[in-house]
Amino acid sequence: METKLRSNIIACGMAVPPKILTNAELEKMVETSDRWIIERTGIKERHILREGEVISTYAVQAAREALNKAFLTPEELNLIICATLTPDFLMPSLSILVQKELGAINAGAFDLSATCSGFLYALSLADQFVKNNPTWKVLVIGAEALSRKTNWEDRSTCVLFGDGAGAVVVGASQEESGVLDFILGADGSNWPLLTLKGGGSAYFPFDERLPKEEYYIKMQGREVFKIAVRMMEKIALELLERNGLSASDLSLVIPHQANLRIIEYLRERLELPPERVFVNIHKYGNTSAASIPIALYEAEKEGRLKRGDLLLMVSFGGGFTFAGILMRW
């Protein structure tokens, strides 16, 4: 019987800035406390760019590690997809800067913006490209510099975000491993709950109509929480149901690392023990599109993912966007 062609993750890489911002340091910057932050978010520290640094530096580092582990040269890449809200520039794109620095002279390159769901959106695209072009090798990167879009005077948001990058190389698999199914979703009706208005064509840079606060991330946390837990559970259960699986079949769940309470809610709804849901938010905070690839890298490194394991990745993000990918490792 002929094996169905699937796309598969060949190798992972990650990179984060060396500068760490702890909760204790945040206590000196804004009215908050280590206990308050941990109880409400689960975050203890986050990595942030130093002055003069750019996120493309870490996107390239993560990409190089993934390529080295995949035993590929940059010239063998056919496509680079970068999921990001915070590229170095609006033009050229982050993917173009990565392509240049890697020397990936045979690869096409583009950025994708789907907020915190961006990596899973990009991975689902890579899956389709590889299925239609079985010899292709696609580099998928999630990279964010949310510290550059954070209002450090707003205690409700400044405690949440961190910077970093994760990368995977995707290629064809004739084996049982690879992407089994995915769901992409969106709901624009609630977009005012989580915004970053300044800098676009509606409110361009230095637009005097817009208060400076609108050039940073603004969020109505309680309402976002309600939507996040509902949609992540819905996507997870739908993926399992339509593939004839139950949550007990899952070896590991890697959720978007936005808030520990959201992750715990999802774990409880799926009735999974803690060891089957990966958590690293305490070290990195919410790194948006970089969250899942960083977690994926660490899960593999820690031995939490083994050949044949059934993996579910699920995310939500501003907009709102939602995504889930089910795969056999």
pLDDT per residue as tens digits for the range 243-282 = 999 999 999 999 999 999 999 999 999 999 999 999 999 9
pLDDT of residue 1: 39
What mean pLDDT is predicted for residues 321-329? 97
pLDDT greater than 90 at residue 193: no
Question: From the candidates 23, 47, 82, 256, which is the catalytic residue?
Answer: 256
Q: In the sheet where 310-317 sits, what is the strand order? A: 178-186, 321-328, 310-317, 252-255
Question: From the candidates 8, 23, 280, 286, which is the catalytic residue?
Answer: 286
- The model's confidence at residue 201, banded by pLDDT at 50, 70 and 90, is confident
| DSSP 8-state code for residue 2 | P
Q: Which two tokens stand for residue 195?
A: 């915004």
Question: From the candidates 116, 158, 259, 280, which is the catalytic residue?
Answer: 116
pLDDT of residue 3: 57
Strands (E) located in 34-154:
45-47, 79-83, 108-112, 138-145
- CA gyration radius, the chain: 19
Query: How many other CB atoms sit within 10 Å of the CB of residue 147?
Result: 24
pLDDT of residue 155: 85
Let me know: does 177 contact 328? Beta carbons within 8 Å.
yes
pLDDT per residue as tens digits for the range 42-100 = 999 999 999 999 999 999 999 999 999 999 999 999 999 999 999 999 999 999 999 99
What fold is seen in the domain 6-175? Peroxisomal Thiolase; Chain A, domain 1 (3.40.47)
Round the average pLDDT of the chain to a whole number and report it.
Answer: 93
Indicate if the alpha-carbon torsion angle 116, 121, 124, 126 is positive or negative: negative
- Interacting residues of 132 by C-beta distance below 8 A, sequence separation 6+: none
- The model's confidence at residue 207, banded by pLDDT at 50, 70 and 90, is low
Query: Quick check: is 158 catalytic?
Result: no
- The model's confidence at residue 204, banded by pLDDT at 50, 70 and 90, is confident
- Interacting residues of 8 by C-beta distance below 8 A, sequence separation 6+: 170, 171, 172, 173, 175, 177, 178, 179, 327
The pLDDT > 90 percentage for the chain reads 83
- The model's confidence at residue 166, banded by pLDDT at 50, 70 and 90, is very high
pLDDT per residue as tens digits for the range 102-157 = 999 999 999 999 999 999 999 999 999 999 999 999 999 999 999 999 999 888 89
pLDDT of residue 73: 98
Query: Quick check: is 116 catalytic?
Result: yes
Query: For 180-328, CATH number?
Result: 3.40.47.10
- For the chain, give every residue range classified as CATH 3.40.47.10: 6-175, 180-328
Let me know: does 318 contact 195? Beta carbons within 8 Å.
yes
Distance, in Å, from the CA atom of 176 to the CA atom of 197, rounded to the nearest integer, reads 44
- Interacting residues of 323 by C-beta distance below 8 A, sequence separation 6+: 114, 117, 120, 121, 124, 182, 183, 184, 185, 235, 314, 315, 316
Query: Quick check: is 82 catalytic?
Result: no
pTM score over 0.85: yes
